[in-house]
Amino acid sequence: MSSGVGYRIDPAKREAFLQAIAGLEQKRRRDGAYAWDLFEDAAVNGRYLEAFKVASWLEHLRQPIA
């Protein structure tokens, strides 16, 4: 099952966001995600999509809300 979360950030805070989201990857994997990635929208400055995969709906529900 694929899940995703969209983020809109101030482009001036990009580095801080990337550091914070890297810590979230570890939490997602701890809670059952077996794949994780972060995509930056090339068309919209400051827009990101976090995507991850979990094996079941139950593991999806266990994911922290960012």
Q: What is the pLDDT of residue 64?
A: 64
Q: What is the pLDDT of residue 16?
A: 96
Structural fold of domain 2-62: Alpha-Beta Plaits (3.30.70)
Question: 3-51: per-residue pLDDT in tens?
Answer: 889 999 999 999 999 999 988 888 888 888 899 999 999 999 999 999 9
DSSP 64: P
The pTM assigned to this predicted structure is 0.78
CB 12 within 8 Å of CB 49: no
Residue 29: its H or E element: helix 14-30
CB 39 within 8 Å of CB 46: no
